[in-house]
Each structure stands twice: as C-alpha cells, then as structure tokens.
Structure 1
Amino acid sequence: MTAERLAPDARGIARAAQLLHAGRLVAFPTETVYGLGGNACDGRAVAAIFAAKARPAFNPLIVHFPDVDAVSAYAVLKGDALRLAQAFWPGPMTLVLPMRAGAGLSPLVTAGLSTVAIRVPDAALARALLTEADCPVAAPSANPSGRVSATTADHVLEHLGDRIDAVLDGGPCDVGVESTILQPGPDGTRLLRPGGLPAEAVEDCLGRPLLAPEVSERPTAPGALASHYAPKGRVRLNVEHPRDGETLLGFGPVACALNLSPAGDLVEAAANLFGHLHRLDAMGVTAIAVSPIPDHGLGRAINDRLARAAAPRG
C-alpha cells in the first residue's frame, strides 16, 4: 500500500474526511508539524496510529478540533484554561484538560488518564479538514515514534508512506516545532512542553509565572518522553568547535554544513529544525554537533527538542 497524496483543495479535503470517517489514517499539515490523524472516537483507528508510529501505548495523543466551541463537548474549559483558549486558539498551543464524562473518546487517546490534550490548530487547511470530518481527530506528529517530526508531505511519505492511507499535502509547515503544552490547574498553569507558543507570551496573558512539570515516570502529555525527535546520528549540544568526524548544525554566523539561521533568527531556526535533521539523515551523518541556541522565546522549544534528540536511546 502506498499512501495517496491529496491536493489541498475541496476534493482533497473531502477525500481525507471520507477516509477518517472510514477509520483510516490521514496525515495533514498544521502550522507546527504534520499530524497523523485518526478518528479519536474509533478505537481501531487510534490503535492504528500507535501501530503506524510504533508509539508506546502509555504516551497520550493530542485531539484536534476546528474551533473552541467544538471543544466543550469533550473537555472542561474554564478559568485559566478558558482565558488561554480565548487568547491563543487557534494556534500552536495544546491544553491538557479534564475530560467530560461520556465524551466518547477512545481510552487509547488519553492513555487511561482522566485528562485529554486538546488543540485548535491555526493552519487553514487543517481546520477545513477538521470541519469537514466533523469528528475529534487524534493526531500525533506524522513520523515513527522517537524520530524527527515531519514538516513536509515528502517527510511523511518517506517514513510512513506504506503504513497510512493518505497525506493531505499543504506544503511546508510555518512554525516547524510542535505546540506548547500547558496544564491549567488549581495551583496555576504548568508548562509540560515548550513549543511554538513562547512561554513568555503565556505568562504575560496569565500575569504570573508558569509552573514546572511534575516529575513522573509516566507521561501526562504527548511528546514528554526523554528520548524523542531523534535523527539517526548521535547529537552533541552547545558546541563551539566540532570534533573530528562531527558535522556542525549551526546557528548564527558560523561555518557549518547546515545552518538553522545564519542571521540568528529563532523563528527561522524553529521552522528549519526538523527539515535540517531530516537532511542530515539523508546525508548519512553519524555524529552531529549543534551550535549554542539562545534559551528564550522559541529558543526554549528548539533546545527542548534538541535535548530529547541528544538523550540516551533505549
């Protein structure tokens, strides 16, 4: 089986929605990365997502909706959560919320937790598909588990083309790193994963600092495993001078094989991150050195992904 490549038009959207209703898997672009979509209420479809990605079943999934109003039937949205939703949805933010009784989501989506991770993406094509599908769509990043996320349809087809049914080709993603994951609670809002929405913007909205994630051996949010987003080559971070045999992934005005942003622009670096890691894989690089990245704004998300890429692998 080879996945269909669907055009980003009314016919392609209708075909993608038809496949989702039939319990099949469709990759589609958001503003962050490509997601691997399946009907979140269909247990077989959700199980197929885990199988296609070879993803651990204890790692929950993000459920996508076309607008804020559609969320209320599945999760409790109030207080800080409602304030954040009104400020940043649609956009690169995921909220971990209490799930409503009788929501009808597959237990595989939440990994058996009482909470559900929800996002309203900003990409017009994604929201058009979600509106046409008229069902909650579970969609982790469209890549094998633990590997580099996909930011183009070609990335999806290269790694998952024989495991899924279709990819809706909307071109390259604008943001290039996954969503920021937040969990509002009675004690404040926790930053579970840095991402495309800078933490500083969230703190400005709430008027107080974010809380650090609680230590747990079991992930409470998607993308929280220690080793994740990994290229084939070993990764060493904060490198000013690469060792013999290392290929430098640069940032700023440095001599290197590939540069995330020669101008030192964090937005450009985030957009290029996964694409450059894919290119290093294609080049057969076995040892990657990465220039220091400023740890503020989108730099926090970039450094989070690079730290997971460099983590020891099982």
Structure 2
Amino acid sequence: MNTKVWKVDKNVDNLENNPQIVDAAHFLLENEVVALPTETVYGLGGNAESDDAVGKIFSAKGRPGDNPLIIHIADKSQLCRFVTEIPDKAETLMESFWPGPLTIIFKKKAGVLSELATAGLETVAVRMPDHPVALALLEKCQLPIAAPSANSSGKPSPTKAEHVIEDLNGKIAGVLDGGATGVGVESTVVDCTEPIPVILRPGGVTREQLERVVGEVRLDPALVNEESKPKSPGMKYTHYAPNAPLFLVDGSPAFIQKLVDEQKKNGLRVGVLTTEETHREYDAEFVLACGKRKELETVATGLYDALRTFNQVGVDVIYSEVFPHTGVGDAIMNRLQKAAGNKKIIE
C-alpha cells in the first residue's frame, strides 16, 4: 500500500475545506485508515461504525483484539447516536475539558458502533480532541472515528508524523502531518458510568483538575496495585517500550551513574533518561533530557520522542529517573512503568 502524506498548516482558515482534509476524509468515508494529529499524540483513525475499517486499525498496529478503542467526535451532539445516557458529572466534565485530553466512558447503545471498536464491552470511550486539524477532519467526514495511537502496538506513541511513518508506512492509507503534538501523553480516561468517576488511565487532565469540577474522583485499583485486574482491558499490556530494556531508578544521580559504570564495564552502550536539571551529572553513551523536572508538562511533551531517540542511537540498556506522582507526573510515571514492564531499581 502506498501511504500518502498530507502536510497541513493548522493555522489556516477554513481548514474543513482544505484539499488535504477533504482527501483524507474521503479515505475515511471509504473505510480506509488515516493517521491524524491531536493535541496528545497522533491517532490512527477509522470509521467506528465499520468492522472493515476498525479491523484495518487493529491489523496495521498489531493490536490485541480485546483492547478497546477511543471514539473521537467533533461535537457533543454526536453522542446521542451511540450512548444511552449522559450522566450529570460527565456533562460537567465535557463542559470543562472538551475539546481536550479527556476521554469519558459511557454506556453504549447496541448495534451502532463496531463491536471490534468497543471490544464487545457494554461501554464506549469517547473524546473530543483539541486540535484544529483533527476537528476539521471529524467535521468533514461526520463520522465517529475510532483512533488509538498511530504506532506499532507496544512501541512509544507518535508525537510527530515522522514517528507514524517510521512504524506504519505502507500499512495505512495516509498521514495528515500537522506538526508536533503538544501535550505529549495520551488523554486521561475517566469512567462515568458509576456515581463516583474513576480514572482508568492518567493523562493530560490531572486528577486534581477533575476533582475541582466534580468532587471526588477515584483511581482504578489496577493503577496502584499491580495484582488488581485492570477495568480497562488495554491497560494490561506493555506499552510505549523502546527497543532496549528500560529500568526505572529511584535513587540519586550518583547511584544511577554507578549502575551505568557497571554496564559500561560489560561493554554495553548505556542510555540515561533524565531532565535538564541533572543531565550534566551523567557520563554515559547517550544522556537525554526530556524536559524540566520543575515543569513536568515539558517532560510529558518530550517523553515519547526521547524513547524513540534511544532506538535511533542504538543503546543496549536505558536507566530512567523517576518523577513525583503529582499533576501530570501520574501520567508520566504510568507510561514509564508500562515502558519498563515495571522493572524498578531502588537505591
């Protein structure tokens, strides 16, 4: 398959009728899959009402079939097509955070969406992306679009069109190149089918932000207890992993350097994932600062690009600093723990 690449300036007027958007929308209407930029990461979009289109998403990614997809919409009015009810707290969250990096779980109507997209569950995950290119495409095709991250399953999510092409060139119909994404980690997933909302996946909207508008918000037990079964099936898989084994290190830079030195004696090329505050304290084959510890939003933005960079330079093992579980730090540590397969070294 020849994968088309459309470069789109997200700042131009009348994006909905941009020729590249129109062309990409045509592919979606023909049940092909197209990668699109969002404010979090690039998504791999397909018609959520079509088994054919959704099947192509799973095939291109190599994604397990019991891993449900998030449905993207351009307008809240589209919800009535495929959800049975909109709880009051869900309505409040939509008013506060849509468009934006928040996915809400609703009870779904039967027989509307592809069962492949929802993995046979009685619920559906929905969000409205905060990116002009994504919204223009959704407006143009007027379809609910299933869109997981546009990468090979298990690998770091794509924050640039180049990342998508690296993983999926020849496997999908096209890529809308709208430049680098902003937030850098995926959306927060919140289950609103119960009286108290439950975070199933931390992301671009923090628990503190959610609680300011709806009161108490709980965490899925699987986020804090590895032995608990995740309520969201996709959370049980390893994700975001670079090629080299990644270890999280809860310790001082001096302790991390000791680990690096031991591996260097064994002839291994070592990578260190750190921040701008401490990157000069390491002597390793490749030291990469993915942001500022004092500004965790910058770490979130640079995280996946950093993990992919380690692949490009070809290190044999990676040690990563850990980050506080506050604000977007919850999302950062969730992704790093998944990428490391929960491998952790404590000083």
TM-score (norm 2): 0.85
Q: Distance in 1 between matches of 2:82 and 2:20?
A: 27
TM superposition shift of 1:213: 4.2
Partner of 1:232: 243
Partner of 2:2: 2
Partner of 2:35: 27
Q: Distance in 1 between matches of 2:166 and 2:229?
A: 30
Pair 1:281–1:312, CA change in 2 (3 A): same
3-state SS in 1 of match to 2:197: strand
CA contact (8 A) 1:190 1:213 kept: no
CA contact (8 A) 1:59 1:219 kept: no
Gaps of 5+ in 1: none
Q: Distance in 2 between matches of 1:159 and 1:211?
A: 32
Partner of 2:321: 291
TM superposition shift of 1:262: 4.0
Mapping 1:178-257, distance limit 5 Å: 178-213=186-221, 220-221=231-232, 223-239=234-250, 240=252, 241-242=256-257, 243-244=259-260, 245=263, 246-254=270-278, 255=280, 256=282, 257=287
Partner of 2:96: 87
Pair 1:263–1:186, CA change in 2 (3 A): closer
CA contact (8 A) 1:58 1:218 kept: no
Question: Which has the larger Rg?
Answer: 2
Q: Distance in 2 between matches of 1:66 and 1:17?
A: 13
Mapping 1:89-104, distance limit 5 Å: 89-102=98-111, 104=112
1:116 equivalent in alignment to 2:124: yes
1:154 equivalent in alignment to 2:162: yes
3-state SS in 2 of match to 1:185: coil
CA contact (8 A) 2:272 2:319 kept: yes
Q: Distance in 2 between matches of 1:306 and 1:196?
A: 15
Amino acid at match of 1:290: S
Amino acid at match of 1:16: A
TM superposition shift of 1:236: 0.9
3-state SS in 1 of match to 2:319: strand
Pair 1:59–1:133, CA change in 2 (3 A): same
Amino acid at match of 2:247: R
Amino acid at match of 1:38: G
Amino acid at match of 1:228: H
Q: Distance in 2 between matches of 1:125 and 1:223?
A: 27
Deviates more, 1:153-162 or 1:260-269: 260-269
Q: Distance in 1 between matches of 2:204 and 2:166?
A: 25
Q: Distance in 2 between matches of 1:270 and 1:211?
A: 20
Q: Deviations over 1:214-267 (max 9, x none)?
A: 689876437412411111111111353142333110024112511011463111
Q: Distance in 1 between matches of 2:219 and 2:156?
A: 28
Amino acid at match of 1:233: A
Amino acid at match of 1:286: D
CA contact (8 A) 1:61 1:222 kept: no
Q: Sequence identity of aligned pairs in percent? A: 40
Amino acid at match of 1:247: G
TM superposition shift of 1:286: 2.1
Q: Distance in 2 between matches of 1:238 and 1:101?
A: 46
Q: Distance in 1 between matches of 2:173 and 2:110?
A: 32
CA contact (8 A) 1:97 1:183 kept: yes
CA contact (8 A) 1:252 1:264 kept: no
Amino acid at match of 2:98: W
TM superposition shift of 1:294: 1.7
Partner of 1:164: 172
Amino acid at match of 2:339: A
Amino acid at match of 2:105: V
> What RMSD over aligned residues (CA atoms) do the two structures have, in Å?
1.9
Amino acid at match of 2:317: A
TM superposition shift of 1:207: 1.7
Partner of 1:309: 339
Q: Distance in 1 between matches of 2:24 and 2:318?
A: 37
Q: Distance in 2 between matches of 1:96 and 1:52?
A: 25
Partner of 2:300: 270
TM superposition shift of 1:193: 0.2
TM superposition shift of 1:312: 6.5
CA contact (8 A) 2:37 2:178 kept: yes
Amino acid at match of 1:57: G
